[in-house]
Structure 1
Amino acid sequence: MAGTIIITGANGSIAVHAVQQLLSKAPDSTLILTVRNISATDPNTRRLGEAVNQFPKSNVVIRRLDLANLKDVHKFAETIAAEVAQEKLPPLAAIICNAFHWNMIAAPELTEDGREKTMQVNHVSHAALILRLLGSFGPRGGRLVLFTSDCHYPGRNSLEVYPPGLPDDLDGLIRADPDTDKRGRGFQNYANSKLAILMWTYALNRYLERDEQFNKISAVAIDPGSIADSRALRTNTPATLSHTQRFVLQPLWPMLRLIMPNLRPSIDAGADIADIALNRTHAGERGYLNLMMPGPSSEESLNSIKQQKIWVKTAEWAGITRENTALQGGFQSHCPY
């Protein structure tokens, strides 16, 4: 499936392997790889560059994108859309929303847009990117790959202190209310972002399916499993978590998989993501995949009324209106971006 594939957080643990798989399996594709820091002095971006350099004939561009800044997201989307319209880029074939943020060691963070950072980076900005770029997909459609987690399901994740759940006041999800339990609330913010992603994906698919222009685009929210070698376990986390990864998960993961079937290395997850994005696995599948198997997701995530509420609120938070997206989804007017 030739076309342009966008990957956010492309220098992440899973993403680097997904990039290699995409370049190997779909060498005719154009890859737009976004990172916050494009400098080779960043060790993660340097690793990404080394992976790309293994495919010297590939058509790959690494671009800067800060998901903690909605103006940056909208500008990036406008640039991509213009390049597709001017045939400088092939039509989009997939968007892989890999970038993420969490913080379990500090007070809640607000972005420049005044939104809680975990929710904005993981969910709101990706929603803005997708909705701004749907019109840049080709007539054959394509794939939207989003990332959820078992932590969207109450009681499923060992790091859970407070269960995930949508508050009655949805704006509470983007506020950074102070709390003394940084670890517990930080993880709850992350879990809520994964719940919001999943519920929004269900709503998105309903709008895509009933729109003749976009019904060949399918959206999947995938739980890639617990990644034993993910650098996320060493970023904004308590020392106990990084020590667990170093001394338990990484050296013992082949044995631990006997009792923890969702524990896996990033290279395996990267291969899955590439196959999903290329429509080679679960072709046209929509909704939730748990380690490449369809659902079921949590009871709350399946509540269609709540799905619609998070759909409407997400558009508001993301600055999406009927003027700046090609999808007909009941959006309001007057975008601030």
Structure 2
Amino acid sequence: MAYTRSAIVTGGTQNLGYYAALDIARQHPDWLVVVCSRSDREHAADSINEALKQRNTVFLPVDLSDSKSVRNFAKDWSAKDYPPIQALCLNAALQFPDKIVYTPEGIEATFAITHVGNSLLFHLLCPHLASQARVVITSSGTHDPAQKSGLPDPIYTTGEELAHPPPAIANGPGRGHYANAKLANVLWTYALHKRLSQKVPDRGIVVNAFDPGLMPGTGLAREYSATMRFVWNKVLPKLAPVLRAVYSANIHKPSDSAASLARLAVSPEMAGISGKYFEGRKEIPSSKDSYDEKKIEDLWNWTVRYCAQDESEVERFENLK
């Protein structure tokens, strides 16, 4: 079958990403739907195809903590002449709750996977985005201290210090790196929206940030201790109705949050909406810090400089070519 468009979901083999890919594939059997992760041990693509009695979902490997892997993914994408990308869901994230973890390239791993890898993937795939394409970046309410999520408040000084944290940040709670990375997701959303509207308005590409809410039982806690994994995977999902009543309404099953993610990515009612922050289906203000223009510009500039291999690529990334 000749597919008309592509949709890509990073972190698409499990939980939120899996169900979002399933929803998009169901709505668009004429699209190629690509689920990406380091591996597909659960055979997510096959599972989606079997559930829908279709064949339009495939798995392509990418390790977002490794820039070479991201570049190889993009190189292969270009070489195989896949259909234009209509929906790019930059969803992958990971949390390291204890001591700080660094990638082989030497940057803090939560930030590397959650922000840097997804951002590099966007820049490399930007030439392949269709007219009116949509980019959705999965953030989290943990980026906003006012939401009192239970995680440490994010500390944004510079992009460089998120990548290579000084002792005050490096030696802090491991989950603080996750809050920092999720704030970076929102800052980068606003930076990208600004540049899309200024530099390539004719392409009609939009970008929004998305908070799926707390989803007990997902793979986010796979780096936690055995006891905490048991609580997260076995206890909290059963308590979700109680938690919604006494703690927060923003607690959902992955499949429910995935429907909201897919809505942002493909629903006609969301066409043309850009530069916004959504909690589920509701547009809300993001954190106070996320609107700080100095932070927005610092993160954009650091990300472009870090991700680009040379000055010509800096120019490409800056101008969204």
TM-score, normalised via structure 2 length = 0.89
Corresponding residue for 2:252? 264
**1:83 pairs with one of 80, 84, 104:** 80
8 Å Cα contact 1:14-1:270 kept in structure 2: yes
Q: Which amino acid aligns with 2:52?
A: F
**2:143 pairs with one of 125, 131, 152:** 152
1:81-124 CA distance string (max 9 Å, x none): 3333xxxx11111111111111113x211112111111010001
Aligned length: 316
Shift of 1:304: 1.5
CA separation in 2, counterparts of 1:75 and 1:328? 17
**1:13 pairs with one of 12, 15, 18:** 15
Corresponding residue for 1:216? 204
CA separation in 2, counterparts of 1:302 and 1:95? 23
The 5-angstrom pairing of residues 302-317 of structure 1 reads 302-317=291-306
Q: Which amino acid aligns with 2:308?
A: G
Q: Which amino acid aligns with 2:137?
A: L
Shift of 1:191: 0.5
Does residue 125 (structure 1) correspond to residue 112 (structure 2)? The answer is no
Corresponding residue for 1:334? none
Corresponding residue for 1:191? 179
8 Å Cα contact 1:148-1:223 kept in structure 2: yes
1:41-100 CA distance string (max 9 Å, x none): x2xx3345323322343322211101111011112112213333xxxx111111111111
Question: Could you say what secondary structure the match of 1:100 adopts?
Answer: coil
CA separation in 2, counterparts of 1:279 and 1:322? 38
CA separation in 1, counterparts of 2:107 and 2:141? 24
Corresponding residue for 1:280? 268
Question: Could you say what secondary structure the match of 1:271 adopts?
Answer: helix
Q: More deviation in 67-76 or 49-58?
A: 49-58
8 Å Cα contact 1:135-1:325 kept in structure 2: no
% identity of equivalent residues? 25
Question: Could you say what secondary structure the match of 1:263 adopts?
Answer: coil
8 Å Cα contact 2:46-2:57 kept in structure 1: no
CA separation in 2, counterparts of 1:281 and 1:323? 38
Does residue 174 (structure 1) correspond to residue 163 (structure 2)? The answer is yes
Aligned CA distance change for structure 1 residues 144 and 325 (closer, same or farther; 3 Å): farther
8 Å Cα contact 1:18-1:273 kept in structure 2: yes
**1:164 pairs with one of 120, 131, 154:** 154
**1:114 pairs with one of 106, 119, 131:** 106
Corresponding residue for 1:335? none
Corresponding residue for 2:220? 232
RMSD in angstroms over aligned alpha carbons? 2.6
**1:22 pairs with one of 21, 24, 29:** 24
Does residue 252 (structure 1) correspond to residue 239 (structure 2)? The answer is yes
TM-score, normalised via structure 1 length = 0.85
Question: Could you say what secondary structure the match of 2:36 adopts?
Answer: strand
Corresponding residue for 1:92? 85
Corresponding residue for 1:323? 312
CA separation in 1, counterparts of 2:218 and 2:300? 30
CA separation in 2, counterparts of 1:124 and 1:30? 25
Question: Could you say what secondary structure the match of 1:144 adopts?
Answer: strand
Q: More deviation in 271-280 or 250-259?
A: 250-259
Shift of 1:250: 1.2
Question: Could you say what secondary structure the match of 2:206 adopts?
Answer: strand
8 Å Cα contact 2:146-2:287 kept in structure 1: no
8 Å Cα contact 1:67-1:125 kept in structure 2: yes
Aligned CA distance change for structure 1 residues 48 and 137 (closer, same or farther; 3 Å): closer
Question: Could you say what secondary structure the match of 1:276 adopts?
Answer: helix
Question: Could you say what secondary structure the match of 1:329 adopts?
Answer: helix
Aligned CA distance change for structure 1 residues 293 and 320 (closer, same or farther; 3 Å): farther
Aligned CA distance change for structure 1 residues 299 and 187 (closer, same or farther; 3 Å): same
**1:141 pairs with one of 132, 135, 143:** 132
Question: Could you say what secondary structure the match of 2:147 adopts?
Answer: coil
CA separation in 2, counterparts of 1:54 and 1:149? 29
**2:37 pairs with one of 35, 38, 42:** 35
CA separation in 1, counterparts of 2:315 and 2:56? 27
For structure 2, list consecutive stretches of 5 or more residues without a partner in the other structure: none
Shift of 1:241: 3.8
For structure 1, list consecutive stretches of 5 or more residues without a partner in the other structure: 332-337
8 Å Cα contact 1:97-1:146 kept in structure 2: yes
